[in-house]
Amino acid sequence: MQKVSINLFIIIKPFIDMNQDPSKMIVLEEKIIGLLNKLKENHLSINKYKDSNESLTDQNKILKKKLLNLEEENKSLKIANNLLGSKDDKSFTKIKINNLIKEVDQCIRHLSEIE
């Protein structure tokens, strides 16, 4: 830190009235050094928070993917429950089955057109 304080003194010296008390210049220099140290701490904190933010963003993406997978699995399980005779969401299952039948019919039509 001594090197920084000497360099600051050289920079500040021409701007300070020569008649002022040298102790005031020392106090000014100490304050500047303190501010530079705080600036350095702030930069370190910013970098730490950026890293933390990136990590949390990655975790968030992973959790969103897991949520989507679980939602799909939940839909599949609801359909399976309905096929096994569960009374919950029977209309949902009927709609799904009708959509699947429509898709199969459409595929058959395409195949018959090709022949």
Give pLDDT tens digits for 83-110: 776 566 667 777 878 888 999 999 998 8
Q: How far apart are CA 58 and CA 64, in angstroms?
A: 10
Alpha helix ranges (H) inside the chain = 2-12, 22-83, 90-114
Q: Which residue has the higher pLDDT, 18 or 23?
A: 23
Q: How far apart are CA 11 and CA 34, in angstroms?
A: 16
Short-list 44, 21, 25, CA closest to 33: 25
Give pLDDT tens digits for 25-73: 788 888 889 889 999 999 999 999 999 999 999 999 999 999 999 999 9
**Which residues, at least 6 apart from 81, have a Cβ–Cβ distance to it below 8 Å?**
88, 89
Around Cβ 67, how many Cβ atoms within 10 Å? Answer: 10
